[in-house]
Amino acid sequence: MISQLSINATRQGLHEITAEVAAVVNESGLREGLCTLFIKHTSASLLVQENADPSAARDLELWLNRLVSENDQIYTHTNEGPDDMPSHIKSTLTASSVAVPFVDGRLTLGTWQGIFLWEHRRTDMQRNIIVHIGA
């Protein structure tokens, strides 16, 4: 089964999408298998990360923004604004897809894990994620 999630990322940073993904798994009717997610964008990414303490997300966001800064003089791809080229670098350093097994119709995430869309642009962006559910 293949479906698509459309997520409105209202700001730069991590946006938890675990509930949306779990709903797609539940709707599939399958009891066990693999849920694979793929983001159809080059300036955002996907990851499994700590979802219990918001300070973990803030620290990741601050660290990546420090690692890949805006307005670096070496950038030549600047037509879409100062956050565009850094967003491409950030998505290269992270991931465009994740896979999570599910058992008894439920994602097998650890106690403190969640699935996140990581928006690397500073503007409000509509992001499309392909969800493949397979047995």
- Give the list of residues 6+ apart from residue 52 with CB closer than 8 angstroms, or none: 111, 112
**How many structural domains is the chain composed of?**
1
**Residue 99 lies inside a defined structural domain of this protein:** yes
The whole domain housing 41 covers 8-134
Which residues, listed in sequence order, are joined to residue 44 by a DSSP beta bridge?
119
**Residue 112 lies inside a defined structural domain of this protein:** yes
At 117 the pLDDT is: 98
**Residue 59 lies inside a defined structural domain of this protein:** yes
Q: What CATH number is given to the structural domain containing 17?
A: 2.60.120.460
At 16 the pLDDT is: 98
At 61 the pLDDT is: 96
**Residue 113 lies inside a defined structural domain of this protein:** yes
Tell me the backbone φ, ψ of residue 123, rounded to 5 degrees.
Answer: -95, 165
Tell me the backbone φ, ψ of residue 84, rounded to 5 degrees.
Answer: -75, -55
**Residue 2 lies inside a defined structural domain of this protein:** no
- Give the list of residues 6+ apart from residue 31 with CB closer than 8 angstroms, or none: 103, 104, 105
At 135 the pLDDT is: 82
**Residue 74 lies inside a defined structural domain of this protein:** yes
Report pLDDT digits (tens) over 35-56. 999 999 999 999 999 999 999 9
Q: What pTM was computed for the model?
A: 0.95
At 107 the pLDDT is: 98
pLDDT confidence of 80, banded at 50, 70, 90?
Answer: very high
**Residue 95 lies inside a defined structural domain of this protein:** yes
